[in-house]
Amino acid sequence: MSTPYIVFLTGGIASGKSLVGRYLETLGAVRIDLDELYHEILASDTLCRQQLVTSFGVEILSQGAIDRQALAHKVFGDPYTLAELERITHPFVFCALKSRIQELCVCSKSSSSQRMIVVEVPLINKVSEVSYLADEILALIAPLKARFRYAQVRGLSREQMCARMRAQVGNSLLCHKSDTLILNAGSVTMLKQHVKAWYLSRMKRIGKGL
């Protein structure tokens, strides 16, 4: 069995990455969500927590754990503070991602089931250190109006959402950085149809060893 085909699935906030990632999981891919991986690190890595407290103060702690809402309040809207947060956190995230992928590659040697790994990457312009891992970058583009509606599901206000969007790449850079684009501008059923067609074409390619 060859190594799995690794896809970085990207897109702006609320563009549908998790929806697509979870759907690909039902089709047979293994899913890694960088946000989730990062949250696991925040909850369990004392070194990361220590560095964050040193830089941002004890006010980012709530009952000994990192209060993500308090941290979000400090960084979104202040590019320097956000850069400092990323300087601390990204090396931990990249290290965890490399380990997870390595584990999956070892597993795939003994199993034929893990042929595709999908990594949900919210910030494609900030992952150059691990971009060599990706065989393909797949980007989702969703209309702004729909994304604002989706954000409400997450409990983010319009202002909070805009602050995060300003720290992310716009559609033109997203297109430039990606190999494949999928437009998420219709129903979930339509989105799944596009994604399934893309998945099947990649499986065919992988099956032929291309």
Ligand X SMILES: CC(C)(COP(=O)(O)OP(=O)(O)OC[C@H]1O[C@@H](n2cnc3c(N)ncnc32)[C@H](O)[C@@H]1O)[C@@H](O)C(=O)NCCC(=O)NCCS
Contact footprint for ligand ATP (CB under 6 A): 11, 13-19, 35, 122, 150, 153-154, 184, 187-188, 191
Q: Is 8 in the site for ligand X (CB under 6 A)?
A: no
Q: How many CB atoms lie within 10 A of CB 109?
A: 10
Choose among ligand ATP, ligand X, none what residue 18 binds, the Cβ cut-off being 5 to 8 Å by kind. ligand ATP
Ranges within 72-111 binding ligand X (CB under 6 A): 72, 75, 82, 85-86, 89, 93
CA distances from 77 to 136, 159, 191 (A): 31, 10, 32
CA distances from 189 to 16, 22, 185, 192, 194 (A): 13, 14, 11, 5, 9
What's the CA angle centered on 88, arms 82 and 93, to 5 degrees?
105
Q: Is 56 in the site for ligand X (CB under 6 A)?
A: no
Q: Is 16 annotated as a binding residue?
A: yes
What is the separation of C-alpha 192 from the centre of its chain, rounded to a whole number of angstroms? 19
Q: Is 133 in the site for ligand X (CB under 6 A)?
A: no
> Residue 98 or residue 154: which is nearer to ligand ATP going by CB?
154
HSE-up of residue 162 (Cα within 13 Å, Cβ side): 4
Exactly one of 35, 59, 103, 179 binds ligand X (CB under 6 A); which one?
Answer: 35
Ranges within 155-184 binding ligand X (CB under 6 A): 164, 167-168
Q: Is 19 annotated as a binding residue?
A: yes
Choose among ligand X, ligand ATP, none what residue 16 binds, the Cβ cut-off being 5 to 8 Å by kind. ligand ATP
How far is residue 203's CA from residue 210's CA, in Å, rounded to a whole number? Answer: 10
Exactly one of 71, 130, 139, 169 binds ligand X (CB under 6 A); which one?
Answer: 71
What is the separation of C-alpha 100 from the centre of its chain, rounded to a whole number of angstroms? 14
Contacts of 72 (CB under 8 A, 6+ apart): 160
| Contact set with ligand X (CB under 6 A) | 13, 34-35, 38, 68, 71-72, 75, 82, 85-86, 89, 93, 122-123, 164, 167-168
Annotated binding residues for ATP: 14-19
Annotated binding residues: 14-19
